[in-house]
Amino acid sequence: MANAPLRVLVTGAAGQIGYAIVPMIARGVMLGPDQPVILHMLDIEPAAEALNGVKMEMIDAAFPLLKGVIATTDVVEACMGVNVAVMVGGFPRKEGMERKDVMSKNVSIYKAQASALEKHAAADCKVLVVANPANTNALILKEFAPSIPEKNITCLTRLDHNRALGQISERLDVPVSDVKNVIIWGNHSSTQYPDVNHATVTTSGREKPVRELVADDQWLNTEFITTVQQRGAAIIKARKMSSALSAAGAACDHIRDWVLGTPKGTWVSMGVYSDGSYGIQPGLIYSFPVTCEKGNWSIVQGLKIDEFSRAKMDATAKELTEEKSLAYSCLN
């Protein structure tokens, strides 16, 4: 019997990431090639005409998996019965702006949308926050939607994870699909810690540590880290707009692995509610290495953390604590 369609909400659907992600969802990139979908696209009134244009294109593309498309500026209609919510809507960072500059504009949006999701989404709705500051928007959403299980609210750091895989692949001139188990710890910001201490590359059928193959700790401990940390800003500088196709691809990767599971022996990075693992204070949405099975994520336990990593993991946690207070001061 054919699968029943799942309802997928994309907020900010008239924006750049929205335009890149909706065809991916309708082609099965997010939920698999056998899963029909009904798209719910939300944007704000000034973008209503553009949003309707995206709806027309989605109809014209005649995607076989797309069983319906709703384009609306009404948050209640948008959230009604959704199984997956990809929260992209918000005010993007422009060249020269720090992420903190966009904080006050975005946290109030997430507070308002939290209640609509809580009241109208499916009870087991999986939520992915993409809009920046992603971790803190997700935390605000969690705090103002107390009946949504905290395990169902996550933020996107998969883009940073994929960027780290990409940098290692370029450096070693190996296919990116042969690199795995990098980790992004912490905030989706320039304090994030891209960690390769447990990462491997498969060559001639054997997994070898990235540190052994790169054999240049100086590069791994400096330039590699800053390149990944600053990649979002580098793209804004080059494109005069923030990353979109890679962000859309990473959001699909995040939901696909969460729903369908991570491959055996592989972990990915997700911003999730801290349970105190690795000494990270509970009450933050922090990026950890996770594996997923049967629609649930679990933090990978027992990884050895050296002093260098500890300091970087704590620094990004400190920034998240500060962002949390700033977010609350913006809301008051």
- For ligand LMR, which is the closer residue by CB, 6 or 141? 141
- 85 marked among binding-site residues: no
Per the residue annotation, which of 40, 161, 188, 254 is the catalytic one? 188
Give min distance, CB of 92 to ligand LMR, in A.
5
Give min distance, CB of 159 to ligand NAD, in A.
4
36 binds ligand LMR (CB under 6 A): no
Kindly list the strands in the beta sheet with 179-180, ordered across the sheet, starting from the edge strand earlier in the chain.
Answer: 179-180, 200-203, 206-209
Residues 115 to 134 in contact with ligand NAD, rule: CB under 6 A: 130-132, 134
- 16 marked among binding-site residues: yes
- 131 marked among binding-site residues: yes
- 265 marked among binding-site residues: no
Give min distance, CB of 251 to ligand LMR, in A.
12
With CB cut-offs between 5 and 8 Å by kind, which of ligand NAD, ligand LMR, none does residue 235 bind?
ligand LMR
- For ligand LMR, which is the closer residue by CB, 121 or 155? 155
Beta strands at 179-180 and 200-203: parallel, antiparallel or unpaired: antiparallel
Residues 53 to 112 in contact with ligand LMR, rule: CB under 6 A: 92-93, 99
Contacts of 160 (CB under 8 A, 6+ apart): 184, 188, 192, 194, 228, 231, 269, 287
Residues 212 to 241 in contact with ligand LMR, rule: CB under 6 A: 232, 235
47 binds ligand NAD (CB under 6 A): yes
- Catalytic: 254? no
12 binds ligand NAD (CB under 6 A): yes
**Among 243, 274, 287, 291, contact with ligand LMR (rule: CB under 6 A):** 243
* Contact between 199 and 180 (Cβ < 8 Å): yes
- Which residues are known binding-site members for NAD(+)? 12-18, 43, 106, 130-132
Residues forming contacts to ligand LMR in the complex (CB under 6 A) are: 92-93, 99, 132, 159, 232, 235, 242-243
Residues forming contacts to ligand NAD in the complex (CB under 6 A) are: 11-12, 14-18, 42-44, 47, 88-90, 92-93, 109, 130-132, 134, 156, 159, 188, 242-244, 247
Catalytic positions are: 188
- Which residues are known binding-site members for substrate? 93, 99, 132, 163
